[in-house]
């Protein structure tokens, strides 16, 4: 018999996500900055290592043991049912979205800005999640009631106004440049001029969580998958920040926010018209 949502509270699901992220993080910390072979998936900008696959397997093993029969959607191994036998016919209403290493290029090159991200979806809504930065030993998590940093309640402080604020983003990526050309570089220049500082760091989940913690004020991502952002989105919102999805395909606006191709994350209490205008321009320019 497969487990369903009635079997678990959101707090219990958060605990499972935290445990799985801890196991993954311990492994990643043990191999970080050691020699490793780097391969590429879609391009030279899309790196993968054997550790991505090993880490995802470790996460799936924890989920299979603690929440058998749930669906797991992973960046490396795709969709599978955790711990199900050939005789299981029931369908679980719990789906896990896992990114074993968000920021693989950073990890592979020895730059300590990467994390493991695990989120739990029930009936189209993200209900629990955990994101672990193993090098800084920071565990972000959330459930139905609150967000946490390690074992402490996480509440996002008021963001700074322009021009004192900091923006953290991966934009423009090579894909952004290919899609938008000179408009992308001009847009980035306008942000450099408007914000106190602009940082490009290479992990969507950690970028969003730096907003949640109040270490930066805004974050923009333009090419993300659900496993990149689902947990961080929930944590930011539970902490009091805002997450706005960016859709590139007509008719996808009705889908849950974590399925959008991009996002704008903001700390509370401020508006940044320059970012809102940029999101609108990027979204409309890529609509198809």
Residue 220, C-beta contacts closer than 8 angstroms, at least 6 positions apart:
167, 169, 171, 262, 263, 264, 265, 275, 278, 279
Beta 94-102 vs 71-74: how paired, if at all? parallel
Give the residue extent of every domain in the chain: 5-153, 166-286
Neighbouring C-alpha atoms within 13 Å toward the C-beta of 236:
33
What is residue 7's predicted lDDT score, i.e. its pLDDT?
79
Task: Find out whether 90 and 1 touch, Cβ atoms under 8 Å.
Answer: yes
Top CATH class, 5-153 = alpha beta
What is residue 84's predicted lDDT score, i.e. its pLDDT?
57
Digitized pLDDT (tens) for each residue of the chain, 288 residues in all: 345 556 799 999 999 999 999 999 999 999 999 987 766 655 554 566 789 899 999 999 999 999 999 999 987 777 888 865 544 445 578 999 999 999 999 999 999 999 999 999 999 999 999 999 999 999 999 999 999 999 999 999 999 999 999 999 999 999 999 999 999 999 999 999 999 999 999 999 999 999 999 999 999 999 999 999 999 999 999 999 999 999 887 766 778 999 999 999 999 999 999 999 999 999 888 876
What is residue 251's predicted lDDT score, i.e. its pLDDT?
65
What is residue 237's predicted lDDT score, i.e. its pLDDT?
98
Element (H, E) at 72: strand 71-74
Top CATH class, 166-286 = alpha beta
**pTM (predicted TM-score):** 0.92
Residue 91, C-beta contacts closer than 8 angstroms, at least 6 positions apart:
2
75 annotated to bind ligand: yes
101 annotated to bind ligand: yes
């Amino acid at each position: 018999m497969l487990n369903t949502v009635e079997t678990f509270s959101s707090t219990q699901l958060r605990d499972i996500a935290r445990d799985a992220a801890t196991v993954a993080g311990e492994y990643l910390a043990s191999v970080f900055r050691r020699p490793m072979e780097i391969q590429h998936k879609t391009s030279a900008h899309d790196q993968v290592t054997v550790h991505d696959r090993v880490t995802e397997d470790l996460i799936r093993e924890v989920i299979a043991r603690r929440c058998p029969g749930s669906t797991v959607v992973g960046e490396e191994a795709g969709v599978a049912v955790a711990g199900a036998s050939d005789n299981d016919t029931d369908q679980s209403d719990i789906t896990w979205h896992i990114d074993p290493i968000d920021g693989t290029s950073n990890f592979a090159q020895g730059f300590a800005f990467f994390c493991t991200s695990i989120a739990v979806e029930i009936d189209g809504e993200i209900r629990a999640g955990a994101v672990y930065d193993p090098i800084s030993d920071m565990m972000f998590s959330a459930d139905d009631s609150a967000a946490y940093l390690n074992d402490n309640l996480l509440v996002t402080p008021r963001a700074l106004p322009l021009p004192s604020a900091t923006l953290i983003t991966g934009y423009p990526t090579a894909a952004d440049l290919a899609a938008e050309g000179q408009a992308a570089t001009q847009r980035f220049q306008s942000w450099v001029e408007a914000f106190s500082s602009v940082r490009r760091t290479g992990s969507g989940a950690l970028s969003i969580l730096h907003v949640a913690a109040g270490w930066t004020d805004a974050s923009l991502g333009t090419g993300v998958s659900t496993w990149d952002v689902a947990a961080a989105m929930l944590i930011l919102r539970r902490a009091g920040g805002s997450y706005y999805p960016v859709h590139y395909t007509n008719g996808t606006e009705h889908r849950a926010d974590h399925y959008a191709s991009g996002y704008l994350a903001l700390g509370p209490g401020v508006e940044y018209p320059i970012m809102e205008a940029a999101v609108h321009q990027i979204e409309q320019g890529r609509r198809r």
